[in-house]
Amino acid sequence: MNAPAVKGWCPGALRPMDSGDGLIVRLKLTGGIVAADLAMKIAHWSRRFGNGEIDLTARANLQIRGVADVTLHGLQDAIAEAGLLDGNPDGEAIRNVIVSPLAGLDPRAVLDIRPVVAALEARLAGDAKLYALPAKFCFAVDDGGGVGLGDVRADVRFEAVAGPAFAIRLDGAPDEVLGPCRPDDVAAIAARLAGVFLGRRGDARRMRDWVERIGAAAIADAASLSLIRHSRESGNPFQASAPADGWIPAFAGMTLRVIGVGLPFGRISAGSLQSLAQQAAEASATELRLTPWRTIIIPCPSGEAAERLAQTLPPDAFILDLADPRSRVAACVGAPACQSATTNVREDAGRLAPLVGKHGFMHVSGCAKGCAHPRPAPVTLVGNDGLYDLIRDGAPADSPALRGLTLDEVAIYLRQMAAMDLQGPTA
């Protein structure tokens, strides 16, 4: 039923990834929508088949960690019984679709994109011609509502506009629009663009590489799509005001009230997920919405229900306040859970978080891959045998400004930066 675990591979449920704390099994939940009772099942699976630790990824997927070889088949059987197991590992690997977190609920959205997303995922999973896509190749579907995906990187993005229709953007060409595309045509056009990429990409690993090489106009022509060149307009109040980690606060103007709870460094224990799901259900909230900002949104039937839920959640397990310094730090799992890391970066990130300026953002990475935040940050720390290389306004693979810093030396540097108020969010 499953393919062998592969070190360094993007994990799935059928093809898990081997790591320092056992196998990682990733659940790709359509639209990031998790019914409260399913969340309780996932918490149970994590305890029974894994080590009780769960990660929320930057693609709004859940990863069950610490699964053993002897428990993997039992976990896969449970996932299959819940109707969440893909037909084959190749289709699962490329079924990468990031969705507006409030799809189907936001009254400001152009349309309910859930049927569009379901059709797109079905096409990706079922079209064997697309299985050669790189495992990290990703699509985004934005409903045009209040919680946009403008800061989320995707190879191909579909953005809802009046019509309803979709404008198409390619990574690497943010100001060039392909389309328009009818909602019923999204799956077919996504497959067409992916097919053109596969047929002509050469050694390009992602869409942005190909855009840089031949340009968006050539890609549009090859895919028989029109191209309209214009500047992107920014009309999303969340994009304008959200901190660097993408925290989403509750907002008014909706019949439905929602609250957002951040997961410190993207981690939640099985016990905390179980408690969150149970308390959400008691507040008459039927589902959780996963986001690519390592935040879980809970739609509640009333403001009172949302307030009651927020008051019951423990602040050590969740980020409940925008002022929480952990919301300004991204950190990977680090050592010993990751075989690529030599430093316990998550523990160090927790110690350093209070030193990050209130307008700042820091990434603490166990290696140069930068899984938690591959993009540039005002401060990036890359661990190496307990010491840190420090990169200013760059990504983990960039050249460091300082090398071999102890944790105390990093702390001194952060205090100096905060005092001079030099830190700021990335552009």
3-class DSSP state for residue 86? coil
Q: What is the pLDDT of residues 144-158, one digit of tens each?
A: 998 889 889 999 999
Q: What is the CATH number of the domain that holds 348?
A: 3.30.413.10
**Mind listing the pLDDT tens digit for each residue in 48-71?**
999 999 999 999 999 999 999 999
Residue with token string 């102890």: 406
Residues 333/383, Cβ–Cβ less than 8 Å: no
* Domain stops at, among 197, 213, 235: 235
| pLDDT of 302 above 80 | yes
Closest CA to 258 of 302, 197, 291: 302
How many other CB atoms are found less than 10 A from the CB of residue 79? 21
In the predicted model, what is the mean pLDDT of residues 179-187?
Answer: 93
Nearest by Cα to 133 from 60, 207, 189, 61: 207
Q: Is 120 helix (H, G, I), strand (E, B) or coil?
A: helix
The residue with tokens 């205090």 is 415
How large is the average pLDDT for residues 357-382?
A: 90
Across 262-270, average pLDDT? 95
Total Cβ atoms within 10 A of residue 421? 11
* Domain region containing 159: 110-143+151-235
**Rounded Cα distance, 123 and 112, in Å:** 19
Q: Per-residue pLDDT for 180 more than 90?
A: no
Examine the domain organization and report whether 203 and 120 are in the same domain.
yes
Asked whether residue 116 is assigned to any structural domain, the reply reads yes
Mean pLDDT, rounded, for 363-383: 92
290 with 209, same domain?
Answer: no
Please count the structural domains in the chain. Answer: 3
Going from the C-alpha of 215 to that of each of 133, 200, 227, the distances in angstroms are 19, 13, 11
Q: Judge whether residue 6 has pLDDT over 80.
A: no
C-alpha pair distances (Å), 177 with each of 160, 172, 216, 220, 231: 12, 12, 9, 9, 9
**Domain check: are 116 and 229 in the same one?**
yes
Question: What is the predicted pLDDT for the residue at 419?
Answer: 77
Phi, psi (degrees; rounded to nearest 5) at 324: -60, 120
